[in-house]
């Protein structure tokens, strides 16, 4: 992560609901997470909400977040949502959030990381491919706006 002096990564809590909602609304035109769902996720033991704050003018503001979902008796970590504020893009924040997800998934014994992404989302596709994710399925009209999605997967390997 570049400029890491001004960025901090931490687990989100219910106190972060409002800035996370604002970020969600500014980053997604379709399939936005609503307040009720986001509040639920922030309190769920199987949802892992992590955020990155950036220090500007002596104040930290939320500029990126990821939500990982796990399930009992499953070795799959699902990246349910990931977004970075438009003004903070291109400085490695999403990459840092993915790295963090992969570390936490391994710590919980997950073997696979799974996600869905719009087929037209070239930035996100490039990001995921950079980490070795591969398309496994085409999800026809998966999104509320009728767009198709890809399911992508990454197999986690223990270091040698």
Ligand X SMILES: CC(C)(COP(=O)(O)OP(=O)(O)OC[C@H]1O[C@@H](n2cnc3c(N)ncnc32)[C@H](O)[C@@H]1OP(=O)(O)O)[C@@H](O)C(=O)NCCC(=O)NCCS
Interface residue list for ligand X (CB under 6 A): 27, 82-84, 89-95, 117, 121-124, 126-127, 130
Distance in Å, CB of 73 to ligand X, minimum: 26
- Distance, CA of 74 to CA of 24 (rounded, Å): 27
Distance in Å, CB of 96 to ligand X, minimum: 7
| Closer residue to ligand X in complex, CB, 45/81 | 81
Distance in Å, CB of 156 to ligand X, minimum: 19
Distance in Å, CB of 97 to ligand X, minimum: 8
Structure tokens of 13? 């809590």
Q: Which residue has the tokens 């499953």?
A: 74
| Closer residue to ligand X in complex, CB, 58/143 | 143
Answer for the pair 114, 151: CB distance below 8 angstroms, yes or no.
yes
Answer for the pair 72, 36: CB distance below 8 angstroms, yes or no.
no
∠ Cα 87 17 20 (to 5°): 20
| Closer residue to ligand X in complex, CB, 109/134 | 134
DSSP state at residue 72 = T
Map residue 78 onto helix, strand or coil.
strand
| Closer residue to ligand X in complex, CB, 29/109 | 29
């Amino acid at each position: 992560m570049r400029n890491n002096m001004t960025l901090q990564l931490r687990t989100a809590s219910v106190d972060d609901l409002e800035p996370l909602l604002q970020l969600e609304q500014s980053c997604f035109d379709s399939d936005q997470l609503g307040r009720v769902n986001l509040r639920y996720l922030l309190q769920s033991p199987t949802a892992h909400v992590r955020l990155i704050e950036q220090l500007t003018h002596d104040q930290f503001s939320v500029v990126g977040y990821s939500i990982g979902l796990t399930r009992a008796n499953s070795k799959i970590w699902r990246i349910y949502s990931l977004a970075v504020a438009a003004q903070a893009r291109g400085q490695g924040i999403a990459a840092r959030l993915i790295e963090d997800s992969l570390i936490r998934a391994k710590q919980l014994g997950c073997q696979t990381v799974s996600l869905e992404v719009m087929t037209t989302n070239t930035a996100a596709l490039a990001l995921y491919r950079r980490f070795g994710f591969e398309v496994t399925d085409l999800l026809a009209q998966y999104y509320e706006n009728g767009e198709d999605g890809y399911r992508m997967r990454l197999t986690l390997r223990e270091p040698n």
